[in-house]
Amino acid sequence: MTHDRRSFLQSTLLATLATQAGPWLWAGQASGSVVKPRRLTPGATVGLVSPASATWQTDEITLIKELLAALSLKVKVGQHVLDRYGYLAGPDANRAADINAMFADGSVDAILCVRGGWGSNRILSRLDYKAIAAHPKILLGYSDITALLNAIHARTGLVTFHGPVGVSTWTPFSLDAMRRILFNGEALTMENPRMMDDGLVVTRDRIQTLTPGKARGRLLGGNLTVLSAMLGSDYLPDWTGAILFLEDTNENVYRIDRMLTQLKLAGVLDKISGLVWGKCTKCAPGEGHGSLTLDEVLNDHIKPLRIPAWQGAMIGHIDSQFTVPVGIRAEIDADLGTITLLEPAVR
């Protein structure tokens, strides 16, 4: 075979693969480019989906509609939002269909997940990543929604958002963070509130430096349990140089230990440039006197990495929380306990 003939065949093959793979692979995953969704504006339409646990109380949907209306947003409810299949919000095919439909729908500007729970991992293979890449838009949620946030970012390059779900308690703190990120497009610095409770020092939502210093990288992460369950799949992003943020709830400390060990053995912790530990609500040591504390487990796993790290961020199963863009470059300051976006997360 001549050199020219070989070059022609190679070029043809690459062009064919690019066409078949679609923009979600070549424009997003392969090149590592970041795709920013359009910002929210008054009058925009938000699609409601239930990718995980069931929501069968219609009043919950009514409350979410009223909340969004108060933000001058319209609502489109997914066809299967109130479906139920055991503890899931309907069969896998239907939950995935709602997400695919909302991304493909030109009248929908953003997508809000009603709740977390469990089930998002089950539908990752059913999502139409090519269509998602062709119609980039805001996707907001946390907890079990971690699976969607990371898989969609990994497959399409789309920036997704770890923040309140529809049934969350939307406190002034959460609303302000969401508005500044999703409406205003601010490259803001996120820091915990400084509540002193009539005392001389901050007593609530304190931060604790694990390893001092500053680090820069893409923000990636979410719920530790969900991320651990995704290890070994094709739905996780490249962790190299990332700022990893983690949160969890209702897990005994030995389970946190086990899952951090999982991340270590999978090579994730050795690749990141910095770490932010949010809140681990109801993560007390187990019964008896033999348990490690959460502080001891974090010291065991995080301090040996010798990367800037801090704990106590307003990320997790709490009423007041940050809206954290997944995939956007940021700088953390482990001494001050801050996350500073280096660019807007929306366009």
Q: Among all residues, which ones are annotated catalytic? A: 143, 247, 317
Instruction: Assign residue 277 a region (left: φ > 0; alpha: ψ between -120 and 50; beta: otherwise).
Output: beta
* C-alpha to C-alpha distance for 219 and 190, rounded to whole angstroms: 13
CB 118 within 8 A of CB 87: yes
Q: Where are the beta strands (DSSP E) in 24-81?
A: 45-49, 74-77
> What is the rounded distance in angstroms from the CA atom of residue 73 to the CA atom of residue 81?
19
Type of residue at 79: Q
Q: In what order do the strands lie in the sheet with 74-77?
A: 74-77, 45-49, 110-113, 138-141, 160-162, 324-326
Could you tell me the two tokens for 316?
A: 């997790």
Structure tokens of 241? 């140089």
Cα(103)–Cα(116) distance, integer angstroms: 19
Q: In what order do the strands lie in the sheet with 208-211?
A: 189-191, 338-341, 329-333, 214-223, 243-249, 274-281, 309-311, 208-211
